[in-house]
């Protein structure tokens, strides 16, 4: 490569992967909100809602899994920085043929918390799948995405 592309900051001028140096960046309040869903049969959704799923409290376990995933993101995503998270909030909605999850991650730091929010959503949904797969192997995880973020030099982003 002739020079580093400013949009792909995890690569140096030779194309080698590296962890971005954030030492000179300003500490700011950073927030990211991510969401996703898992489609399933009405019977599976009803069992989750009623708390009668075979493996127990699906939402309670998925909430803890999402929080734990956010805390361990830097262990899972090779070039992510370990962050001092100040808040992780996990909310579920059940309706139609899907369970939706939304995660808000916050920190006071030099880099954003998008990866923590996204990782939490993905692991929360995978946990729902794991806990309900014996009843419904056809579940589909869909739409994992960053909804919005704020803080830092790049400012605010909101999904249209």
Among candidate residues 147, 151, 143, the one with its CA nearest the CA of residue 111: 151
What distance in Å separates the CA atoms of residue 64 and residue 67, rounded to the nearest whole number?
5
Residue 63 CB: number of other CB atoms within 10 A? 21
Of 5, 21, 57, 130, the catalytic one is: 130
User: Does the active-site annotation cover 130?
Assistant: yes
| E-assigned strand segments in 81-134 | 85-95, 98-109
Among candidate residues 147, 152, 156, 150, the one with its CA nearest the CA of residue 102: 147
What distance in Å separates the CA atoms of residue 97 and residue 42, rounded to the nearest whole number?
6
Residues annotated as catalytic are 130
């Amino acid at each position: 490569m002739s020079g580093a592309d400013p949009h792909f900051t995890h690569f140096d001028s030779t194309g080698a992967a590296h962890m971005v140096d954030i030492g000179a960046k300003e500490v700011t309040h950073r927030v990211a909100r991510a969401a996703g869903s898992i489609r399933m049969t009405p019977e599976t959704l009803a069992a989750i809602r009623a708390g009668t799923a075979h493996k127990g409290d699906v939402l309670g376990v998925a909430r803890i899994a999402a929080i734990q995933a956010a805390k361990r993101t830097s262990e899972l995503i090779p070039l992510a920085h370990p962050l001092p998270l100040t808040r992780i909030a996990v909310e579920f909605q059940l309706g139609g043929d899907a369970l939706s999850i939304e995660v808000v991650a916050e920190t006071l730091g030099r880099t954003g918390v998008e990866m923590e929010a996204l990782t939490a959503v993905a692991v929360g949904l995978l946990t729902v799948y794991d806990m309900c797969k014996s009843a419904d192997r056809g579940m589909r995880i869909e739409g994992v995405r960053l909804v919005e973020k704020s803080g830092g030099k790049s400012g605010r982003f909101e999904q249209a």
